[in-house]
Structure formats: structure tokens, C-alpha cells
Amino acid sequence: MTQIAPISLREANNFVTNHHRHHKAVRGCKFCIALIGEDSDIVGVAICGRPVSRYLDNGTTLEINRLCTNGYKNACSRLYGACVRIAKEMGYKKVITYILESENGSSLKASNFICEGVAGGKIWTGERKRDNGVPCELKQRWVKYL
């Protein structure tokens, strides 16, 4: 049986650095959680914070900035569900997250998130021509209203 546990940003970022396919660590957060597997090892983490888009940063919206697992079965859905429950308890009204357009969003669908469609451009940094390590493709924004 797995369980959700609090985790420090440093520990969560270390997991992201070691396991995420295309994202790096984040600079800050509101909270982080881990999914602990049957052998007491971390099998996934979620890092939640303010929305990256200043237009969505209204004080009642939380963004799941990183969600990363080692492939453990149903880990993504468990982490999404826990993030939503925690956000609701903290008084947030909406939770958002982004995935690459090439990803199918099955864990988000299983967690009752709604796809709002394509959001932003291929590179988050706007007109600047810097490579931040993220694949150069469009993103989808998913939302869960609380």
C-alpha cells in the first residue's frame, strides 16, 4: 500500500532531477508531497506553487508545477488527487497544471481534471531564444475547479 507524505522542496527537486523526462527543478513552492511505496521508497512527488502565468496568479489558483514518478502504477493519479484535496483544504478555488501536447493526460482525466486546450506557445520564455530544456511543442492546460 502506498501513502502520501510531506516532503521538502529540496528532496522533491532531487527526485525531479533524477527522474523527470524533460523538466528541471523548480525555485519555490507552496507545498510538496511524496508518494511512498510499499518498500518505504519515494515513488513519486508533486510540487505545487503559484501559477507561472501572472495572469492566472489571483491568490485562489494553485498550479501543480511538477509531478514526477518512477513509473509506479497509479502514482500520478494518487498525487493529483492528493494535491487537489490539500489545495481545497487550504482554500484554493482552482488547481491547474500543464502537459505537453503529445501527452495523453490519462492520469488527469482519471483525476477529473478538464482540458482547457492549448495554452501558451512552444517555449514559455516568449520571444527570447533560450533553450530551457523543455521540448519545443505546445502545451495543454488542465484545470480542476474546487
Q: What is the pLDDT along the chain (146 residues), one digit of tens a residue?
A: 899 999 999 999 999 999 987 777 889 999 999 999 999 999 999 999 999 999 999 999 999 999 999 999 999 999 999 999 999 999 999 999 999 998 999 999 999 999 999 987 665 555 555 555 566 788 999 999 99
CATH at residue 106: 3.40.630.30
Domain that holds residue 102: 3-145
pLDDT at 77 (0 to 100) = 97
Q: How many domains does the chain have?
A: 1
Three-state DSSP class for residue 73:
coil
The full DSSP string for 79-128 is HHHHHHHHHHHHT-SEEEEEEETTS--HHHHHTT-EEEEEES-SSTTTT-
Specify the DSSP class assigned to residue 133: S
pLDDT at 126 (0 to 100) = 53
pLDDT at 21 (0 to 100) = 74
| Short-list 54, 49, 53, CA closest to 26 | 49
